[in-house]
Structure 1
Amino acid sequence: MVIGSHLDSQPAGGRFDGALGTLSAFEVLESLEDAGIETERPVVVVSWTNEEGCRFAPGCMGSMAFSAGEIPSAWRGKVATDGVDFAEELAKTIASLPEAEMLRLGFPLHAYIEVHIEQGPSLEANDIPIGVVKGIQGTRWLDVAVTGQTAHAGTTGLSYRRDPLHALTCALSGLYEAVMPADPDARFTVGRISAEPGSVNAIPDQVRCTVDMRHPEPSRLDEIERFVTSRIKEEAKRQGCNAEIARSFDMAPCVFSDALQQTIEQAASARKVKSTRMLSGAFHDALFVNRVAPAAMIFVPCRGGLSHNEAEYVERAHAVIGCDVLAQATLAIACESTNGRP
């Protein structure tokens, strides 16, 4: 079986998102070694590459390539936000680890469990130390470009303007007021926005932004995407601009293994720890592993529900409990009789 998480972070991210799960997995291995326990199944620790998708897009590159059994050829031409070529960076990473044994992507595995901070407030608010993740909502990303006409900020009157920033912000204002207020399960976020040529005294020629949409129901996610696309295009046209919108990421919702969820619940109960089943609002590497093997996740509370922030924090007791439940679940699964199965 495989346990682990990721180590990469957001530009202003904290030190628990991903790292907690990776270090917990190594702690489980060390504890097994210290106790002299030999499992029926091998226990492998993984640290997935580029889960956050901040430097290279899409996110979850490592787990996505694993589930596909290969690195997609389309990734070879990808360039990072700092201009670095993906293929070159991958080659440098491999070359820096000469002692590491290369395993083929997509090798058979019996189960995968990942510890992660909740990244939300519900566990802390309800004083529950363990969340048993039952699934992950779907996510779509859009790249939006609205093009108008650059002109002098001081001499161009309102009727002569084709201002793409005005068009985009008008559209976004309406979307913020419509998408999430109308559906408590929906998520709508604009995380990146830029204007060109970027001069203080010039109307922009082009404005770009990203849109992150999430929902647990695929059909509702379709509806949200159509609404967002049409709203931006309509507002751009109304103001004499043109909008081009492309989908850059599409991740369907997933449901995790019920058997693994029960194993985690039993592990928590054995340690006299409260647990609750919950849906993940964020996507994780476990989603992609779940496509090729049974997977599940263990959530622990984070203070104030804050994540993707340097102030992100997990209480020591919660970190220990999460690791302990991971160890108990790992033992239950890895010590099962294999009967010739992997």
Structure 2
Amino acid sequence: MNTELSLDTLRIDQARLWESLMTLAKIGATAKGGVCRLALTELDRQGRDLVTGWAREEGMTVTVDRIGNIFMRRPGRNDALPPVVTGSHIDTQPTGGKFDGNYGVLAGLEVVRTLNEHGIQTEAPLEVVVWTNEEGSRFVPVMMGSGVFCGAFSLEHAYAATDTAGKTVKDELARIGYIGPETPGDHPIGAYFETHIEQGPVLENADRVIGVVPAVLGLTWYDCVVTGFESHAGPTPMAIRKDALQVALRIMQEVVAIANRTPPYGRGTVGMVQVSPNSRNVIPGQVKFSIDLRNVSEELLSRMNQELHDYIEGIRRETGLDIALQQVSHYPPCPFHPTCVDAVRAATAMLGYSTMDVVSGAGHDAIYAARVAPAGMIFVPCKDGVSHNEIEDADPAHLAAGANVLLQAMLSTSRGMK
């Protein structure tokens, strides 16, 4: 170890981190300044090759598992210890930005570059991971690589997933050369940290630099179908109509009301609506719509779900219309490990950055990593809270601050692993 340098004064290279982000963003660059680099495409292969090439230049060894997760390892003094891991993903939305996921991977690489630059060896090894298909834009389920890794669903289930052209995950992984020999889940993780742009407006509105993330909201998704009876809009009196849309609108409003009854973390959203027959002068006979409920604890989320079921049962009895409610997804709330949360909090305080706790409303690979190891997250602001959009933007100084917090949190965690 370089004994002449105090680890507390160690900082990453802001310009180098920014240059790495902009270089990766060229792969799949869009005309509006964003990135389209869908999972397991040729562009994804190019991005993977670029990042793993940078890792090898830093002396890191690279291993890949059978779902395509990439682990880039910097050895420690005691290489038998489980590694302190950081990372995220480099696949994007079709109209994605430069920072979602990519920042978490390249912040980890910048930590390694900084340690190498100053000749610092950690007690435990450090690793940077690139998880496969976090976005789920081309293949579902979302967070596929980390989900298979932690056993949330099987490798066979992930392999069988197809895109709109009928191409499978397994075939596309093989085509781009990223089916590795390692069995997902066999790779040890001692602790996991993930840095990310917030993807929301809280930090920017509060003028804070670092978000300490104690938890991720749990969610339940439903498809709801209200079936009435379509008929002519002119001759049919109001009193005898079976208007599916009017009943659906009442349920949609209740979704928002349920969320408002469980502040501050209750969320209720209807984001997709399909009206049939969708004709100007026909009373809607059927409406299908999505329901998204979220909250910070299983107790509160369960309460929201029960209130939704009770309301729908009541309106079904009142109107006589058929209302089908099908749950299509459920992720329980994810509280992060106190050790990792405290490491992030301590690093932020030591570095002197303004901070606040921010519970994440979006899903991240850290949710699945937390099932197999202590985990935590670090948020930095993004401009206007915009993400999953080509205009997604972030301040280079904020990105550097998040990477500095990551550096110190990983260093302190590595020292604690004896």
Contact kept in structure 2, 1:146 and 1:236, CA below 8 Å: no
Asked if residue 114 in structure 1 is aligned to residue 197 in structure 2, the reply is no
Question: What's 1:264 paired with?
Answer: 344
Aligned to 1:66: 149
Kindly provide the CA deviation profile for residues 263-308 of structure 1, in whole angstroms up to 9, marking residues without a partner as x.
2233334433233344223332212211110100011112233334
CA pair 211-131 structure 1, distance change in 2 beyond 3 A: same
Aligned match of 2:109 = 26
Mean CA deviation greater in 110-119 or 19-28: 19-28
What are structure 2's unaligned runs of at least 5 residues?
A: 1-83
Is 1:97 matched up with 2:97? Answer: no
Tell me which amino acid in the other structure corresponds to 1:62. Answer: G
Structure scoring higher RCO (CA < 8 A, sep ≥ 6) equals: 1
1:10–1:156 distance in 2 versus 1, CA, 3 Å: farther
Of the three residues 171, 174, 178, the one matched with 2:251 is 171
- In the other structure, the counterpart of 1:304 is 384
Distance 2:89 2:387 in 1: 15
Structure-1 residue corresponding to 2:294:
214
| Range with greater deviation from structure 2 (160-169 or 12-21) | 12-21
By how many angstroms is 1:245 displaced? 0.9
Could you give the per-residue CA deviations for residues 116-163 of structure 1, whole angstroms, max 9, x where no partner exists?
Answer: 122333322333211221122221111212222333444444344322
Cα 1:52/1:195, change in 2 over 3 Å: farther
Letter matched to residue 229 of structure 1: H
Tell me whether 1:246 sits opposite 2:326 in the alignment: yes
Given that residues 144 and 158 in structure 2 are in contact (C-alpha distance below 8 angstroms), is that contact kept between their aligned partners in structure 1?
Answer: no
Matched residues in 1 for 2:141 and 2:170: separation? 19
Identity of aligned residues (%): 36
- Paired with 2:181 and 2:114, the residues of 1 have a C-alpha distance of 25
Note the aligned Cα RMSD (angstroms). 2.9
User: 1:318 offset after TM fit, Å?
Assistant: 0.2
Q: Note the alpha carbon deviations across 1:231-287, whole angstroms, 9 max, x for none.
A: 234335544421111212222222212222232233334433233344223332212
Q: Secondary structure at the match of 2:114?
A: helix
Distance 2:176 2:138 in 1: 21
Alignment of 1:124-143 (within 5 A): 124-143=204-223
Moved more, 273-282 or 285-294: 273-282
Task: Report the counterpart of residue 331 of structure 1 in structure 2.
Answer: 411
**Retained in 2: the 8 A contact 1:168–1:235?**
no
Instruction: Say whether the 8 Å CA contact 1:69–1:105 is kept in structure 2.
Output: no
Paired with 1:11 and 1:150, the residues of 2 have a C-alpha distance of 36
**1:314 maps onto 2:397 in alignment:** no
The alignment's TM-score, normalised by the length of structure 1, stands at 0.84
Aligned to 1:229: 309
Say if 1:75 and 1:118 are closer, same or farther in 2 by CA, change over 3 A: same
Match of 2:361 in 1: 281
Structure 1 segments unaligned to the other structure (5+ residues): none
Q: Distance in 2 between matches of 1:234 and 1:11?
A: 40
Q: 1:273 is aligned with what amino acid?
A: Y
Counterpart amino acid of residue 7 in structure 1: I
Summarize the Cα distance change of 1:8–1:143 in structure 2 as closer, same or farther, 3 Å threshold: farther
Task: Give the one of 48, 51, 58 matched to 2:131.
Answer: 48
Give the structure-2-normalised TM-score: 0.70
Say whether the 8 Å CA contact 1:51–1:285 is kept in structure 2.
yes
Q: Secondary structure of the equivalent of 2:242?
A: coil
Note the C-alpha offset of 1:228. Answer: 1.6
Q: Which amino acid aligns with 1:298?
A: I
Q: Which amino acid aligns with 1:109?
A: I
Equivalent AA in structure 2 for residue 192 of structure 1:
M
Residues 172, 232 of structure 1: 8 Å contact kept: no
- How far apart, CA to CA, are the structure 2 residues paired with 1:248 and 1:284? 19
Answer whether contact 1:300 1:318 (CA < 8 A) is retained: yes
1:276 match: secondary structure: strand
How many residue pairs were aligned? 334
- Paired AA for residue 135 in structure 1: A
> C-alpha deviations, 1:46-92, integer Å up to 9, x for none?
23234344555443222222111762655566555xx345xx43123
Asked if the contact 1:58–1:249 (Cα under 8 Å) also holds between the matched residues in 2, the reply is no
SS of residue matched to 2:371: coil
Per the alignment, do residues 337 and 7 of structure 1 end up closer, same or farther by CA in structure 2, a change over 3 Å counting? same
C-alpha distance after superposition, 1:95-122 (max 9, x if no partner): 1332664432112210110001223333
Secondary structure in structure 2 of the residue aligned to 1:194:
strand
C-alpha displacement of 1:20: 1.9
Deviation per residue, 1:197-231 (Å, 9 max, x gap)? 44444444432111111112222211211222332
Residue aligned with 1:96, SS: helix
- Shifted more, 302-311 versus 203-212: the winner is 302-311
Q: What amino acid is aligned across from residue 61 of structure 1 in structure 2? A: M
Q: Mark the CA change 1:13 to 1:193 in structure 2 (over 3 Å): closer, same or farther.
A: farther
